[in-house]
Structures are given as structure tokens and as C-alpha cells.
Amino acid sequence: MNKAATTRAMLLVAFFGICALSTYAASSSCIECHTNAATMQKLVKPPQVGSAEGEG
């Protein structure tokens, strides 16, 4: 295989790989959920911080 054919083959593989990943990300709800501030605030509860008096 010559250099031009190898380059075209690599670009083709990269293109289909990117398309497959973007299709998967679009169909899953991860990106929609993790970029929505209101949803994240409902799902994540801040930790309870106790008093630091008397330590150390």
C-alpha cells in the first residue's frame, strides 16, 4: 500500500470512529444530564460538615 492509500484508510477509520462516538453520546442521557445544572442539583446532595471545634 502506498502512503496516500494508507492516509486515506486512516482518515476513513478516524471518521467512522468519531461518528460512532458522537452517535453514542447523543443517544445516551449522560451529556444531557451532566450538563443540566438543575438536574445535577437534584441528584447531588452536599455533604454534612460537622463542627471542627475541639479538634487538633
Among 4-8, 37-41, 48-52, the range scoring the smallest mean pLDDT is 48-52
Residue-level pLDDT at 15: 83
Within 8 A by CB and 6+ apart from 15, the residues are: none
Tell me the average pLDDT of the chain. 76
Report the distance separating Cα 1 and Cα 5, nearest Å. 6
What pLDDT was estimated at residue 39? 82
Which helix (H) or strand (E) element contains residue 6?
Answer: helix 3-27
User: Does residue 49 carry a pLDDT above 80?
Assistant: no
